[in-house]
A = this chain, B = another copy of it.
Amino acid sequence: MDIAALRSAHPDHWKKATAIRALTLDAVHAANSGHSGMPMGMADVATVLFEKHLKFHAASPDWPDRDRFILSAGHGSMLLYSLLHLTGYADMTLDQIRNFRQWGAITAGHPEYGHAKGIETTTGPLGQGISNAVGFAMAEEMLRARFGRKLVDHYTYVIAGDGCLMEGVSQEAIGLAGRHALSKLIVFWDNNNITIDGTVDLADRTDQVKRFRASGWQVLEIDGHDPEAIDAAITTAKSSRKPTMIACKTHIALGHAAQDTSKGHGALTDAGQLAAAKEAYGWPYGPFEIPADVKSAWEAIGARGAAEHDAWTARLGEASQSRQKEFARIFAGEAPKALSARIKALKKQISEEKPSVATRKSSEMVLEVVNPIMPETVGGSADLSGSNNTRSGDMSVFDVDNRKGRYVHWGIREHGMAAAMNGMALHGGIRPYGGTFMCFTDYARPAMRLAALMKVPSVFVMTHDSIGLGEDGPTHQPVEHLAISRATPNTWVFRPCDTVETAEAWELALRSTQTPSVLSLTRQNVPTLRTEHKTANLTARGAYVLTDATGKRQALLMATGSEVAIAMQARDLLEAEGIGTRVVSMPCWELFEEQDEAYRKRVLPGGPVRVAVEAAIRFGWDRWLYGERGKREKSGFIGMHDFGASAPAEVLYEKFGITPQAVADKVKSLL
């Protein structure tokens, strides 16, 4: 690469881009760790994007109508940190850059949502950012349809690397964006032909241009170091009716001895090579030194959006009070005041009518009363709409000619769905939920973990949550997935036992601002157990006494979901024999764990033998099978010990020994 030619062709541009490269080299050198090559390769694209196109205002980072910039190739985090620092984001100080990858710094190894303004999503696990971006772009379409162009009208820009495009989830994202003609989604592919193991063609020879076009994208091909070409391509992309992929031919670690090599992908820390690169750049400055003229040029870019931001604020101010309030409410993620009353009314009605329905159906009943008063909800399913019961009657289908549609047919793409849901939640103004079978949380795992890590309240509606799924067999029967979900930090796993608990779980999920929820719902019918109406949300405490022993309390049964009814029947058997039995419903372990020890001990007191009942493996249950302190209670577990089998659900419960009689027998064997 002829660095001198690049320098001389566009000297002003060159200086700005070089500031990114220099900061990257310095920060990685200081940390002795990180990824230098990608920011050095994509500095030109990012500079042109920020200078000429990106609608943003560094002083107003929360501006809801800003363009979103998503660094899907998250290992190149120094590109983003450099941009935020240079353009004047208040929290991205030079000290933070100096402390790149150190304890307490906001400049983590990969961009972490919540660490600093301007980080729109957490990236690093490849393919996530480009998939989040689909959700961002859908959210923009939906909110533009709802609030009009005056308030919502922005682009979503993504930088994706070869790794992002090799991960399967990218295909799900590409397919969705093409299908929905998300024309305001613009992806820059950092086409540098390098991965960690070597050149890309070691593992892949896919023609990415043809691949994107096959899914309905516009594709432009440019020299990623030519600012005029970059500018022109973005201009073309912005006026397209399709999503656009701009294939940017770049040199990883441009200008460094490691340029165009896999070594250039990682941490370039050699002091001599660093100096040589700066020399080639014509950058005679010390570590972390940005000359005043370059910094002020960048700060002007960061301030470029001021007038546009002010005009937008004025337009918002011209809207009706109720409209302004609504806009603020949904971007704050606040549930409407009416939610509580709706949930209570449904609970009351159900406790009187006592229907016997599957909790997936209960969930639909909740959505029928909730969705009409929460226009910010967006539902969907990974091609199991009729099974997941995720579409309420008021929801029309999101489509190219119906951007107001709030129901998304995600296709057979659990992973892409979950990642796009996260993108919607991150965009703001949308509260997404999406369904698949509980077993296929496996496919969605990487995105579900990121929801927890980022603290976004996506709601994963996971139906057919046990062997109760029946004939489809062990490939479709979760046994370990409750444990997997519960093992994930900052995740509420709700397994409601009936419609009342389902309504309570939904209320908590819809009020959450920091925690994603997994709703684990049955395929099969379960009776209404909460037949005495209580206005309080009992699920909010995680576990509670559903029915106490009539006489001396000798046994304590703990259960969740469909097995609470089994525990209740077992109690009948035991009480008939004079064995006083308490039944505790535990719809959410995480919320129960958050209660104080006094409450936990009141619900699960020492003394009686304990038996847990759950049509899943035991893993994790030992936490509750033993007392809080002192003497260990005699205890047992009725549930699964291995994968399931293919047969009608009732046969499976019988064959796997998850029955009222088995529970009662277990109790008696322990007494």
Contacts and interface: CB of A to CB of B under 8 A. Distances in A.
Which residue among A125, A483, A484 has the maximum number of chain B CB atoms within 10 Å of its CB? A484
Interface in A92-132: 101-105, 108-110, 112, 122-127
Contact of A109 (B31, B471, B480, B486): B471
Contacts of A480: 449, 484, 487-489
Nearest to A163: B412
A243 interface: no
A101 B475 CA distance: 13
A490 interface: yes
Which residue among A169, A440, A617 has the maximum number of chain B CB atoms within 10 Å of its CB? A169
Interface stretch (A279-287, A330-338, A380-388, A504-512): A380-388
Interface in A373-400: 381, 383-387, 397
Contacts of A410: 203
A42 to B, nearest CB: 18
A103 B655 contact: yes
Interface stretch (A151-159, A207-215, A423-431, A607-615): A207-215
Given A412-B166, A440-B125, A620-B619, A103 B203 contact: no
B168 A167 contact: yes
Contact of A626 (B101, B123, B205, B626): B626
A195 interface: yes
A172 B206 CA distance: 10
Interface string A433-477: 000000110110110011011000000000000000011111110
Interface stretch (A17-25, A364-372, A596-604, A638-646): A638-646
Given A215-B211, A484-B487, A473 B109 contact: yes
A443 B168 CA distance: 9
A563 B445 CA distance: 27
A5 to B, nearest CB: 33
A409 interface: yes
A488 B449 CA distance: 17
Contacts of A196: 383-387
A34 B172 contact: no
B453 A643 contact: yes
Given A453-B643, A489-B480, A175 B197 contact: no
A115 to B, nearest CB: 9
A419 to B, nearest CB: 10
B211 A214 contact: yes
A170 interface: yes
Contacts of A632: 626-627, 630-632
A472 to B, nearest CB: 4
Interface residues of A, number: 112
B617 A489 contact: yes
A195 B383 contact: yes
A67 to B, nearest CB: 24
A645 B108 contact: yes
A619 B483 contact: yes
Given A179-B204, A385-B197, A449-B442, A108 B646 contact: yes
Contacts of A446: 440, 442-443
Contacts of A176: 203-204
A125 B489 contact: no
Nearest to A171: B171
A543 to B, nearest CB: 16
A195 B652 CA distance: 28
A384 B203 CA distance: 12
A527 interface: no
B204 A645 contact: no
B110 A472 contact: yes
Contacts of A216: 205-206
A464 to B, nearest CB: 12
Interface string A405-421: 00001111101100000
Nearest to A408: B203
Interface in A195-243: 195-198, 201-211, 213-216
A622 interface: yes
A487 B483 contact: yes
Contacts of A125: 439-440, 442-443, 475-476
A167 to B, nearest CB: 6
Given A103-B651, A623-B622, A471 B33 contact: yes
Contacts of A127: 168
A41 interface: no
A647 interface: yes
A178 interface: yes
Contact of A409 (B74, B162, B202, B211): B202
B476 A124 contact: yes
Contacts of A453: 474-475, 643
B415 A168 contact: yes
A74 B489 CA distance: 34
Contacts of A104: 647
A286 B389 CA distance: 37
Contacts of A619: 483, 486-487, 619-620, 623
A479 interface: yes
B655 A110 contact: no
A415 B442 CA distance: 11
A488 B483 CA distance: 9
A103 B645 contact: yes
A647 B103 contact: yes
Given A206-B216, A453-B643, 11 more contacts: A167-B443, A178-B206, A195-B383, A197-B384, A206-B215, A440-B446, A445-B445, A490-B642, A619-B619, A622-B623, A622-B626
Instruction: Give 6 nearest A-B pairs by CB, closest first.
Output: A168-B168, A203-B411, A632-B632, A108-B646, A210-B214, A171-B171
24 contacts: A108-B474, A108-B646, A109-B476, A110-B473, A112-B475, A125-B476, A127-B168, A163-B383, A166-B411, A176-B203, A178-B206, A195-B411, A203-B383, A203-B410, A203-B413, A205-B216, A210-B214, A211-B215, A440-B446, A443-B445, A483-B487, A619-B620, A622-B622, A622-B623
